[in-house]
Structure 1
Amino acid sequence: MKAVIQCGGRGSRLMPYTMVLPKPLMPVGSRPVLELLIGWLCRNGISEVIITTGYLGCLIKTLFGDGSKWGIDITYTDEVEPLGTIGPLSLLRDVLDEPFVVMNGDVLTDLNLARMIDFHARMDASVTIATIARQTKLDFGVLEGPPNGRIQGFREKPCLTHHVSMGVYFLQPDVIRHIPRGMPFGFDDLILRLLSLKAKVVSYRHDGLWLDIGRVEDFKKAQELPWNDLPPAYEAIQEFAEAALV
Structure 2
Amino acid sequence: MKAVILAGGKGTRLGIISSVIPKPLLPVGTKPILEIIIERLRDHGFTDIILNTGYKAEIIEAYFRDGNGLNVNITYYQEDKPMGTAAPVKLVEHLLGDQPFITMNGDLLTDMDFRAMYQMHLDKSAELTVAVTSYSYKVPYGVINMQDNVIKSIDEKPELKFLINAGIYVVSPSALDIIPKNTFFNMTDLIQTLIDQNRKVET
- TM-score tier after normalising by the smaller chain length: over 0.9
Structure 2 match to 1:56: 56
Letter in 1 for 2:62: T
Q: Read off the aligned partner of 2:177 and give its amino acid letter.
A: R
Between the aligned partners of 2:88 and 2:139, the Cα distance in structure 1 is 35
Shift of 1:196: 1.7
Larger relative contact order, structure 1 or 2 (CA cutoff 8 Å, min sep 6) = 1
Residue identity opposite 1:26 in structure 2: L
Q: 1:200 to 1:18 in 2, by over 3 A?
A: same
**Separation in 1, partners of 2:157, 2:109:** 29
Match of 1:11 in 2: 11
The one-letter amino acid of 1:184's match is F
1:153 correspondence with 2:158: no
Deviations 1:165-186 (A, max 9, x none): 1111101011112111111101
* Residue of structure 2 equivalent to 1:41: 41
Aligned to 2:121: 120
1:61-210 alignment runs, 5 A limit:
61-97=61-97, 98-146=99-147, 149-203=149-203
Q: Distance in 2 between matches of 1:9 and 1:153?
A: 46
Number of equivalences: 202
Cα drift, residue 105 of structure 1: 0.5
Amino acid in structure 2 at the alignment position of 1:74 = I
> How far apart, CA to CA, are the structure 2 residues paired with 1:14 and 1:140?
31
Structure 1 residues without counterparts, runs of 5 or longer: 204-246
Percent sequence identity over aligned pairs = 38
Find the residue that maps to 1:128 and give its secondary structure: strand
Deviation for aligned residue 1:153: 2.0
Match of 2:164, SS state, is: strand
Counterparts in 2 of 1:139 and 1:59: CA distance versus 1, 3 Å:
farther
Q: CA deviation at 1:156?
A: 3.0
Q: Classify the secondary structure of the residue corresponding to 1:59.
A: helix
Cα RMSD (Å): 1.5
CA distance in 2, matches of 1:65, 1:71: 12
Q: Distance in 1 between matches of 2:169 and 2:142?
A: 36
Alignment CA distance shift 1:10-1:156 (3 Å): farther
Structure with the higher strand share, 1 or 2: 2
